[in-house]
């Protein structure tokens, strides 16, 4: 029995070793493809500065954000090659992973799950690159201290906010850093004209707030208003309608400024769920019907109303 168990353990170890080799080879091929596509984007620069969606390609990002980010960091000639991204889960599918590996940037990532951050710390990238992974639930009350305590302050290259809830409020609160590029997730089902965000709650969690997973975050128009207040221009969103891109006004170069109406994209992914947690595949504007009656904060009137 003991010998059989040892044999099984050796076989499992050999399988895991082969899987790790295949993963490294796959990542190398993906990174090589990303570099080729990035060079093609440089050749297409005059078109992309008017429409950043043309730069999209996927290496480690969920959608095409790797391509947009790579184009921007090349085009803007950023000196301080540092990034902060929070809401990264286990970081296998994240918008700054390609930037970390391909460009050797220094990064801070944060996520509310200690399990997710432990996964990152056992990934080879954690010793191969200068990355700090912190398990923490981010609020407006702790965000600035977290950034400073982990060695980031003043100008950084990129900030990416994706926490499925208090994104607007957390960005509004951040004063400890001055990123050149800011990426913030927006909730496209809130529409193009509404200046909405979910009211701030330190313990906000998307699924607990509403079973559908559709009640979270802020509208694009609300984020564009906030960006202007904080000294940023909106240059567009990705083609999947969930990430908005902002550039600090003093670093725009020839990138085309857009408003919320011209840069808005209605998302097509169908992530809504019923009360039992099953996908319901509701699409388009029908998704807003699911969360009618929920509280919503108007960032221009500074009043809480109901989603109608």
- Cα(148)–Cα(56) distance, integer angstroms: 32
Domains of the chain, earliest start first: 2-306 (3.40.50.150)
38-89 confidence digits (pLDDT tens): 999 999 999 999 999 999 999 999 999 999 999 999 999 899 999 999 999 9
Query: What does the buried/exposed string (b/e) look like for 79-109 if buried means 16 or more CB atoms within 10 Å of the residue's CB?
Result: ebebbbbbbbbbbeebbbbbbbbbbebbbbb
What's the whole-model pTM score?
0.92
Confidence of residue 285 (pLDDT cuts 50, 70, 90): confident
116-139 confidence digits (pLDDT tens): 999 999 999 999 999 999 999 999
Confidence of residue 10 (pLDDT cuts 50, 70, 90): low
Residue whose structure tokens are 């992973």: 97
Locate 51 and state its tokens.
């429409």
219-262 confidence digits (pLDDT tens): 999 999 999 999 999 999 999 999 999 999 999 999 999 999 99
Check pLDDT > 90 for residue 16: no
Indicate the SS3 state at residue 98: helix
Q: For the chain, percent helix, then strand, then coil, each to nearest 5?
A: 40, 20, 40
78-91 confidence digits (pLDDT tens): 999 999 999 999 99
């Amino acid at each position: 029995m003991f010998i059989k168990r040892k044999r099984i353990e050796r076989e499992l170890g050999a399988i895991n070793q082969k899987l790790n080799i295949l993963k490294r080879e796959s990542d190398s091929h993906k990174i090589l493809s990303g570099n080729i596509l990035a060079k093609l984007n440089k050749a297409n620069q005059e078109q992309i500065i008017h429409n950043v969606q043309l730069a999209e390609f996927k290496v480690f990002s969920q959608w095409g954000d790797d391509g947009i980010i790579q184009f921007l960091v090349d085009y803007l000639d950023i000196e301080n090659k540092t990034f902060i991204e929070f809401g990264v889960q286990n970081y296998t599918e994240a918008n700054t992973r390609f930037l970390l590996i391909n460009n050797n940037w220094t990064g801070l990532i944060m996520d509310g799950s200690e399990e997710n951050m432990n996964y990152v710390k056992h990934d080879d990238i954690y010793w191969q690159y200068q990355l700090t992974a912190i398990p923490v639930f981010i609020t407006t009350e702790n965000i600035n201290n977290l950034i400073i305590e982990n060695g980031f302050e003043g100008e950084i290259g990129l900030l990416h906010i994706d926490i499925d809830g208090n994104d607007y409020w957390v960005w509004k609160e951040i004063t400890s850093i001055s990123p050149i590029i800011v990426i913030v997730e927006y909730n496209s089902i809130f529409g193009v004209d509404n200046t909405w965000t979910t009211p701030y709650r330190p313990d906000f969690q998307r699924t607990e707030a509403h079973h559908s997973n559709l009640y979270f975050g802020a509208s694009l128009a609300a984020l564009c208003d906030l960006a202007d207040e904080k000294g940023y221009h909106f240059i567009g969103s990705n083609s999947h309608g969930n990430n908005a891109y902002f550039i600090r006004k003093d670093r725009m170069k020839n990138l085309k400024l857009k408003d919320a109406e011209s840069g808005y994209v209605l998302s097509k992914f169908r992530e809504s769920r019923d009360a039992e947690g099953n996908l319901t595949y509701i699409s388009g504007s029908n998704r807003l019907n699911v969360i009618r009656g929920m509280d919503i904060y108007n960032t221009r009137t500074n009043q809480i109303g109901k989603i109608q």
